[in-house]
């Protein structure tokens, strides 16, 4: 009798969960992942992390779902890049426009630290709550560059580098002890452009005059009570108080469901026919290098391999049921050769079906190289892109080795056989080869940008010279076509391919378990796009090795400090 009653109660609870109103929930304290795992280690590390694409698709579907009454998001903890924040903000604004309640809650927007970008995200919500002990670190935007030339000199380490051109500032931290004028000019415009967007968004979200927002930025950071008095938040409350009020607004019988679970549940219920026409989504994330994608078990983030990305693009190109490709790029660049390999595959794919690039937080230097051949480039206003330039060089440890009592001798055949040794400087003849190499790469980069973007070579050079642009400025100059996010790029791809607005999206490469286990038959096999764990990677020193000009990554890369969070 008791067992039967328990079964009935369980069935009733399940029925209620299928029919009761929903409050969608999103916890950003652990951040978001840009795309699907690129390698076995990434799959483990991102096992419990929410994917950006799931959030975007879930919120899009929820706008039309009468069961969904509200959205509540916890903001804080792991910082998100500015372009990703703008993508989320856009999705929240569209969700809110459907007439559903949106609530943001944070324990603090920066605990004794800055919190401008997370606060900017929160202003997209109808109601904004802050824990009474929290703060609003609305302090503005700052980019800081450190220079280690003096420290290296004291150690007896020199650094020899060439660059094309004056705005390609990646090696400046090693070759200068202060900002050059082009360096300062470029960074100042990035800060100015980003601030313009943040001020406009906060002013619109909080119904404040832009001038008032700039005044508040100069007064920040704020304690909770000061923030409420200034109109920066709607109320001070703990989590339980926020959720109690939310349930009263949405209905006491409403239950919580994470946006990602909601999105995946909908995807399972609406599985497209395997032969249905679709849009392919190819993710290109991390620094660019030759070979296959992967990461070091020592850490340092993942890298995209030209073999992996090229195989994914080939698979999408040859699939007759794929009618368009969205190429999602989030990369600071890396190897010129690897970038050119991917560029070629994008060019070949564009000849047979539309290719739309969606840029994430970064699509600069090599990241712009692999994107520029697309039919349309879509970026967020805060995306950092461009950096059309090149540099190369090496550290020279001869003085340091001498101080340490280490001597070095070289036996070689060939005048330049030892030119990349870090125990000696470049000779004048070797500098001629370095400069020829830099000129060749720069000329090729500029020429391909001019051809891809329908610009004159002279105009392209004006926009290039290694300069980094925000997406907003890149749009104004023609390096980017549209401002928007992944969902906008998918909509463009469907339209260009003549597909329905709800045509399915398939991530490439698409591999079944057997294909993953047996490995590829050849480089033409789609399972050649599988990534791996890279034991030869630099691990946590990967970015430093790139900035030093070491061969692990390559000469087309953006410095790591170009990150706005």
Strands 235-236 and 127-130: parallel
Mean pLDDT check: name the lowest of 16-20, 204-208, 273-277, 302-306.
16-20
The pLDDT confidence band at residue 536, using thresholds 50, 70 and 90, is very low
The pLDDT value recorded for residue 302 is 75
Quick check: 544 pLDDT over 90?
A: no
Taking the C-alpha atoms of residue 252 and residue 70, their distance in angstroms, rounded to an integer, is 13
Bigger pLDDT: 161 vs 460:
460
The label of the residue with tokens 């697309």 reads 374
Q: Is the dihedral of CA 284, 289, 290, 293 positive or negative?
A: negative
Taking the C-alpha atoms of residue 195 and residue 125, their distance in angstroms, rounded to an integer, is 20
Quick check: 495 pLDDT over 80?
A: yes
The pLDDT value recorded for residue 5 is 60
The pLDDT value recorded for residue 226 is 96
pLDDT of 501-525, one tens digit each?
A: 999 999 987 655 555 555 565 666 6
pLDDT of 87-122, one tens digit each?
A: 999 999 999 999 999 999 999 998 878 899 999 999
Quick check: 170 pLDDT over 90?
A: no
Helix and strand counts by DSSP (H, E) for the chain: 22, 26
The pLDDT value recorded for residue 403 is 86
Cβ neighbours of residue 236 closer than 8 Å, sequence gap 6 or more? 129, 130, 131, 132, 224, 225, 228
The pLDDT confidence band at residue 328, using thresholds 50, 70 and 90, is very high
Q: Is the dihedral of CA 564, 61, 325, 480 positive or negative?
A: negative
Ranges of CATH 3.90.226.10 domains, the chain: 13-139+220-265, 272-550
CB 297 within 8 A of CB 538: no
Enter the tokens of residue 84. 């990703």
The pLDDT value recorded for residue 539 is 44
The pLDDT value recorded for residue 34 is 82
The pLDDT value recorded for residue 535 is 42
Enter the tokens of residue 157. 């380490």
Quick check: 78 pLDDT over 80?
A: no
CA neighbor of 417 nearest in space, from 436, 430, 407, 401: 430
Quick check: 496 pLDDT over 50?
A: yes
CA neighbor of 546 nearest in space, from 369, 425, 365: 365
Paired residues of 393 in beta bridges: 161
Is CATH 3.40.50.80 the right assignment for the domain spanning 13-139+220-265?
no
Mean pLDDT of 376-385: 97
- Mean pLDDT, the chain, rounded, equals 86
Strands 50-51 and 532-533: unpaired
Taking the C-alpha atoms of residue 248 and residue 244, their distance in angstroms, rounded to an integer, is 6
Q: Is the dihedral of CA 532, 537, 358, 438 positive or negative?
A: negative
Taking the C-alpha atoms of residue 435 and residue 112, their distance in angstroms, rounded to an integer, is 47
Cβ neighbours of residue 48 closer than 8 Å, sequence gap 6 or more? 30
The pLDDT confidence band at residue 546, using thresholds 50, 70 and 90, is very low
Quick check: 315 pLDDT over 60?
A: yes
CA neighbor of 550 nearest in space, from 561, 533, 562, 537: 537
pLDDT of 403-447, one tens digit each?
A: 889 888 888 888 888 888 888 889 999 999 999 999 999 999 999
Q: Is the dihedral of CA 149, 154, 159, 160 positive or negative?
A: positive
Taking the C-alpha atoms of residue 473 and residue 226, their distance in angstroms, rounded to an integer, is 35
Say whether 378 sits in a helix, a strand or coil.
strand
Mean pLDDT of 295-305: 66
Taking the C-alpha atoms of residue 534 and residue 308, their distance in angstroms, rounded to an integer, is 13
The pLDDT value recorded for residue 313 is 96
The pLDDT value recorded for residue 72 is 96
The pLDDT value recorded for residue 540 is 44
The pLDDT confidence band at residue 63, using thresholds 50, 70 and 90, is very high
The pLDDT value recorded for residue 149 is 87
Cβ neighbours of residue 45 closer than 8 Å, sequence gap 6 or more? none
Q: What are phi and psi of 376, to 5 degrees?
A: -140, 140
Is CATH 3.90.226.10 the right assignment for the domain spanning 272-550?
yes
């Amino acid at each position: 009798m008791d067992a039967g009653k328990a079964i009935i109660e369980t069935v009733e609870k399940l029925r209620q969960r299928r029919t009761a109103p929903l409050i969608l929930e999103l916890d950003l304290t652990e951040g978001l992942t840009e795309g699907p795992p690129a390698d076995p280690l990434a799959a483990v590390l991102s096992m419990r992390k929410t994917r950006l694409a799931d959030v975007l698709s879930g919120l899009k579907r929820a706008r039309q779902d009468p069961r969904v009454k509200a959205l509540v998001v916890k903001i804080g903890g792991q910082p998100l890049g500015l372009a990703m924040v703008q993508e989320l903000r856009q999705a929240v604004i569209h969700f809110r426009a459907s007439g559903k309640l949106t609530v943001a809650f944070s324990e603090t927007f920066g605990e004794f630290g800055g919190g401008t970008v997370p606060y900017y995200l929160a202003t997209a919500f109808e109601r904004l709550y802050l824990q009474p002990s929290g703060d609003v670190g609305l302090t503005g935007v700052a980019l800081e560059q450190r220079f280690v030339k003096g420290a290296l000199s004291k150690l007896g380490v020199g650094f020899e580098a060439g660059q094309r051109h004056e705005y390609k500032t990646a090696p400046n931290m090693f070759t200068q002890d202060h900002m050059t004028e082009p360096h300062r000019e470029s960074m100042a415009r990035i800060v100015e452009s980003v601030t313009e967007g943040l001020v406009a968004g906060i002013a619109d979200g909080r119904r404040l005059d832009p001038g008032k927002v700039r005044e508040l930025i100069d007064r920040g950071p704020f304690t909770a009570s000061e923030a409420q008095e200034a109109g920066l938040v709607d109320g001070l409350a703990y989590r339980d108080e926020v959720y109690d009020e939310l349930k009263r607004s949405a209905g006491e019988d409403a239950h919580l469901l994470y946006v990602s679970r909601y999105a995946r549940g909908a995807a399972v219920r609406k599985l497209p026919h395997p032969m249905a026409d679709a849009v392919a989504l190819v993710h290109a994330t991390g620094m660019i290098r030759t070979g296959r994608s992967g990461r070091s078990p020592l850490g340092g983030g993942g890298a995209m391999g030209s073999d992996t990305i090229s195989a994914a693009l080939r698979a999408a190109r040859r699939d007759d049921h794929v009618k368009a490709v969205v190429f999602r790029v989030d990369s600071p660049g890396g190897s010129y050769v690897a970038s050119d390999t991917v560029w070629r595959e994008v060019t070949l794919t564009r000849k047979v079906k539309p290719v739309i690039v969606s840029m994430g937080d970064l699509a600069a230097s090599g990241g712009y190289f692999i994107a520029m051949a697309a039919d349309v480039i879509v970026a967020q206003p805060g995306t950092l892109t461009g950096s059309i330039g090149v540099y190369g060089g090496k550290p020279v440890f001869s003085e340091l080795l001498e101080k340490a009592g280490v001597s070095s001798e070289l036996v070689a055949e060939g005048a330049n056989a030892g030119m990349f040794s870090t125990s000696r400087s470049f000779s004048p003849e070797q500098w001629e080869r370095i400069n020829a190499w830099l000129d060749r790469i720069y000329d090729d980069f500029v020429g391909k940008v001019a051809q891809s973007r329908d610009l004159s070579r002279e105009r392209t050079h004006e926009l290039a010279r290694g300069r980094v642009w925000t997406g907003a400025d890149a749009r104004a100059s023609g390096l980017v076509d549209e401002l928007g996010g992944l969902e906008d790029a998918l909509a463009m791809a469907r339209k260009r391919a003549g597909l329905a607005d709800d045509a399915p999206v398939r991530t490439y490469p698409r591999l079944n378990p057997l294909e993953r286990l047996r490995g590829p038959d050849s480089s033409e096999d789609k399972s050649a796009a599988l990534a791996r764990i890279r034991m030869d990677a630099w691990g946590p020193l990967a970015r430093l090795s790139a900035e030093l000009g070491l061969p692990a990554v390559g000469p087309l890369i953006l410095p790591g400090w170009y990150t706005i969070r």
